[in-house]
Amino acid sequence: MGARPVSAVSVAAFPDTRLPLAVLTEILRGLIAGAADCGVPVVGGHTVKSPEPLFGLAVTGIAHPDRLVIKGGARAGDVLVLTKPLGIGVLTTALKNERLAPEGVARVTELMLTPNDRAAAVMVRHGVHAATDITGFGLLGHLLEMARGADLSAELHWPAIPILDEARTLAEAGVFPGGARNNLKACLEQTRIDPALAEWQSLLLADPQTSGGLLIAFPPERLDAALAELSAQGIVARHIGRMLEPDETGIRVMVTR
């Protein structure tokens, strides 16, 4: 949203009779290190007992109320940029089922550990109109949120969408988290996907991402400069589509081949 994070507080639930406390120690150590990389101090936290381990953050930040970047701020003609490849859900599912090679484990871990702070700073400098992060609802679900919020439609161009190499092979073999199918089903009423695309391609568009990238709507005249600065920051961003005026069909997202 264009905010600057100031502090973080951890919120943890932990099964202390089922897992050693050393596991919780490592979670908190990782939290502190990751937050420090973004310049955010962890100032405290709260932990309760639970049958299942759960963990999250409450973050306080500062933003000027006139310069907030919201989901629904896109304008017709804006270009859409994605800052991380899709396929994290596929790879983590393969990992749980012991079907992911060591290089795939290293790749997906590195991707999930990469914060979006640099990409967020770049988008603000280049006149972003709207943005969101791609997480549990997948690319389609979060783009639909942007389109509905702006009362617009969107067009995605499948060949332009970045996909993790390992995820493409696993997706073709049908390795998906259950959430991908649920996401796709929830989006179909307002989505038109080129029938030439295979089912695995549609499911990748709905793949739930953990620590996915940013989906950013830029004015078209700022695209080249924004992509150049993102690249200079080591961020492999891609121009994947555009925002359009809505039509009478009620379709919000179209995926072309």
Residues 6+ away with beta carbon under 8 Å from 136: 179, 208, 209
Number of Cβ within a 10 Å radius of residue 63: 13
Residues 182, 180: Cα–Cα separation, whole Å: 5
Using DSSP's 3-state secondary structure scheme, residue 61 falls into: strand
* Residue whose token pair is 């100031």: 6
Q: Which two tokens stand for residue 210?
A: 């953990």
Q: Are 244 and 152 in contact (CB under 8 A)?
A: yes
User: Which 3 state secondary structure label does DSSP give 126?
Assistant: coil
Predicted pLDDT at 102: 95
CATH topology of domain 4-62: 60s Ribosomal Protein L30; Chain: A; (3.30.1330)
Mean per-residue pLDDT for 73-94?
Answer: 98
CA-angle at 251, arms to 250 and 253, nearest 5°:
150
CA gap 69, 142 in Å, rounded: 15
The predicted model gives 186-215 an average pLDDT of 97
Instruction: Give this prediction's pTM.
Output: 0.94
Is beta strand 214-218 parallel, antiparallel or unpaired with respect to 130-133?
antiparallel
Tell me where in the chain the CATH 3.30.1330.10 domain(s) lie.
4-62
Band of residue 212 on the pLDDT scale cut at 50, 70, 90: very high
Mean pLDDT calculated for residue range 131-159: 98
Percentage of the chain exceeding pLDDT 70: 100
227: helix, strand or coil: helix
Provide the residue type at 164 as one letter.
L
What is the CATH number assigned to the segment(s) 69-255?
3.90.650.10
Q: What is the mean pLDDT of the chain?
A: 96
Q: How confident is the model at residue 198 (pLDDT cuts 50, 70, 90)?
A: very high
CA-nearest of 237, 8, 230, 251 to 125 is 230
For 191-237, strand residue ranges (E) read: 191-193, 214-218
Residue percentage of the chain with pLDDT more than 90 = 98
**pLDDT confidence of residue 19:** 95
At 32 the pLDDT is: 94
Per-residue pLDDT band at 191 (split at 50, 70, 90)? very high
> Which residue ranges does the chain devote to CATH 3.90.650.10?
69-255
